[in-house]
Structure 1
Amino acid sequence: MKEPQSLEARIQAHYEELPPAEKRLGDLLLGFPGDIATYSAGELAEAAGTSRAAATRFFQRLGYKDFNEVRLQVREAKRWGSPVYLSSASRLDGQGADKVMPSQSVADHLDQEVDNLTRTLEAIRPDALRDVVDAMAGARRVHVVGFRNSRMLALYLQRQLLLMRPDVSLLPQSGQTLGEDLVDIGEQDVLVMIGMRRRVGAVTRIMEIARAQGAKILLITDPSATRTARLATWTLTCQVRSPSLLDSYAAAMSVLNLLCSLLFRRAMKEGYERLRRVETLHEELDELDAFAWLTEESGQCPDR
């Protein structure tokens, strides 16, 4: 059998054989493995009510050379964005979220969102942005890909692009295999890969295949994607840090909105004509409540 690699998997694999002193440390770390990144071995041992010698034996029993090796692994897991490793026991003590005033939570959230937006948008090179928009406007087809949390971002981008140009697909398609989705990607196409941290292995493989088949690739990601970015023609990096355990995608949504706005300006005549036809079809099909604003103003349902 394959040996477990993550800290919590190693603890679970050895848990039953741990002596009581080491088991207390195991219990602490199973709840909050991310604490290793900020505490020393002695501090963790004290928090678990055990000795530093017991902590040393504990980590060696799990297969680590020393405490520094454990800390490096956990720091990488935090950078990768695992909520398990982003958590901390301090969140549940007297300084926890239940003791924080809502006004301070809002202020902290706003500060982080502003910082994410500022750092993300200021890092975008105007010439790269121009090249991306030109490529998306002139492509035969645009393929937008997203997995897990990136799927919602991919769906938003695909729906906005469809308002301005034809032949924009969202991959992977429901009920299809990836081979069926990727077979027709070619030199005249653009692949937009949205791959925020905790990416699945398919992200790299899809980009490798698209690149081999001659497509241009735009990668929209977070700062952790250094190796994945080497496969892309262009990379737009979005900051996702948050005061909570959950990543923020506000900066990523802003970048997607910026791309769509610039694309519309780039081909305003064609884009406006397409939008006009879409609106005409909405009206013919009676799909949208165009008079909803009257209901809000008067409190009554308007005659249709």
Structure 2
Amino acid sequence: MQELSSKPNGSFVGHVRQTLNSLSPTERKLGEFVLDYPGDLATYTASELAQLVGVSNATVTRFIQRLGYENYEDARRQAREERNSGSPLFLSAPGSKGVEGSVASHIVQAQDNIVATFNHIPAELIDEIALAMVSAGHVWFLGYRSNRNLAAYLRWQLVQMLPRTQLIPGPGETLGEYAVDLGKTDLVLVFALRRSLPMAAKFATTAAQAGARVVYITDHFSKTAVPAEWLLRCHTQAPGPLDNHVSVMLLCHLLATRVMHHAGTKGRRRMASIETLHDGLSELRE
């Protein structure tokens, strides 16, 4: 029989914060370190953590029990779960190198992310989605938090070639006001990389149920089940606490490039008309 873990309700970091003021000086030293680098608990053994902080193994044991955990493994298990959920706090590490020392590692990781991502997203699939966007009656873009910036970027690239595109929801608007009009001629691109709001997946499901074609762009850790026609997973790992979105940006670039190709003469004429209007309005001139 699998042993059940014992853990208090709430987040691991929350337990540490609530308990910090009641700790002894050595336990507080450990608590403050853990608040700065909670991900270390998911990585190190109790002895390794004690050595890293400069306290005894007994201090680590007392500290864990004061937090409400039965043992170190229960606390480490919860820290590991929260680390996988994507909080940048859990991805920070002590003694990180400066910018000069870390540039090479970031470049290597970005290259690895690109290779890992496009090993599962072939050129044919990108072409298929691009064709679907060109033929769609309306293309909608949705994303929350950092995902909204990614959705806005791709929409900005495509608005020059596609006449009916929109980033949703607008200020003060609700998704229901858009969902009511979704149908088989629509295509919805949802960006839902880690730490996205659950509403993104709910809207993708609603759009699919309404008959719209759905492109769901997420990370390789996501386990959210969405009935999307196209599920694209991007690798976003990085040496530091912040996600590396190079593979996502490359995906956006490739989609925009292939849309431009498939939009053909009609798309280029639209771009030319936009440029003429830019000139007439003096929008892009000093």
Deviations 1:95-116 (A, max 9, x none): x42xx7x2x4332222222222
Q: Could you tell me which of 75, 78, 81 is aligned with 1:73?
A: 78
Q: What is the match of residue 147 of structure 1?
A: 144
> Could you tell me how far 1:262 is from its partner in structure 2?
0.9
Separation (CA, whole Å) in 2 of partners of 1:130 and 1:60:
56
- Tell which deviates more after alignment, 273-282 or 22-31: 22-31
Would the alpha carbon gap of residues 241 and 61 (structure 1) be closer, same or farther in structure 2, given more than 3 Å must change?
Answer: same
Q: Is the 8 A contact 2:105 2:239 kept in 1?
A: yes
Counterpart of 2:5?
Answer: none
Per-residue deviation, 1:21: 4.1
Q: Which has the higher contact order (CA 8 A, sep 6+)?
A: 2
Task: Say whether the 8 Å CA contact 1:45–1:55 is kept in structure 2.
Answer: yes
- Residue aligning to 1:172: 169
Equivalent pairs: percent with the same residue? 36
What residue identity is the alignment partner of 1:118?
V
Quote how far apart the aligned CAs of 1:145 are: 0.6
Paired position in structure 2 for 1:301:
none
Following TM superposition, by how much is the alpha carbon of 1:4 offset from its aligned partner in structure 2, in angstroms?
A: 5.0
Opposite residue 257 of structure 1, the aligned amino acid is H
Quote the offset at 1:13 in angstroms.
Answer: 2.0
Which residue of structure 2 lines up, in the alignment, with residue 115 of structure 1? 112
Q: Is the 8 A contact 2:192 2:201 kept in 1?
A: no
- Which of the residues 229, 239, 259 maps onto 1:263? 259
Which residue in the other structure is 2:279 paired with? 283
The number of equivalent residue pairs is 279
Q: Which amino acid aligns with 1:195?
A: A
What do the CA deviations read for 1:115-169 (whole angstroms, capped 9, x no partner)?
A: 2222222321344323322221221111101111111111111111111111111
| Aligned counterpart, 1:130 | 127
Are the equivalent residues in 2 in contact too, given 1:216–1:232 (CA < 8 A)? yes
Change (3 A) 1:203 1:48: same
- Tell me how far apart the structure 2 counterparts of residues 89 and 111 of structure 1 sit (CA, whole Å): 21
Choose which of 188, 192, 196 in structure 1 pairs with 2:193. 196
Of 219, 239, 246, the residue aligned with 1:243 is 239
Classify the secondary structure of the residue corresponding to 1:221. strand
Q: Aligned in 2, Cα 1:107/1:45: closer, same or farther, shift over 3 Å?
A: closer
Q: Structure 2 length as normaliser, TM-score?
A: 0.88
Q: Is the counterpart of residue 7 in structure 1 residue 12 in structure 2?
A: yes
Report what 2:91 is aligned to. 86
**Could you tell me how far 1:203 is from its partner in structure 2?**
1.4
Deviation at 1:7, TM superposition (A): 1.2
Task: Give unmatched runs, 5+ long, in structure 2.
Answer: 1-7
Question: How well do the aligned residues superpose, as a CA RMSD in angstroms?
Answer: 2.1
Q: Which deviates the most, 164-173 or 65-74?
A: 65-74
Q: Deviations over 1:226-273 (max 9, x none)?
A: 224x33221222221222322121211110110111112122121111
Determine the structure 2 residue equivalent to 1:274.
270
Contact 1:173–1:181 (8 Å) recurs in 2: no
How do 1:98-113 residues align onto structure 2 when only pairs under 5 Å count?
102=100, 104-113=101-110
The one-letter code sitting in structure 1 at the alignment partner of 2:48 is E
- Residue identity opposite 2:200 in structure 1: V
Counterpart AA for 1:179: G
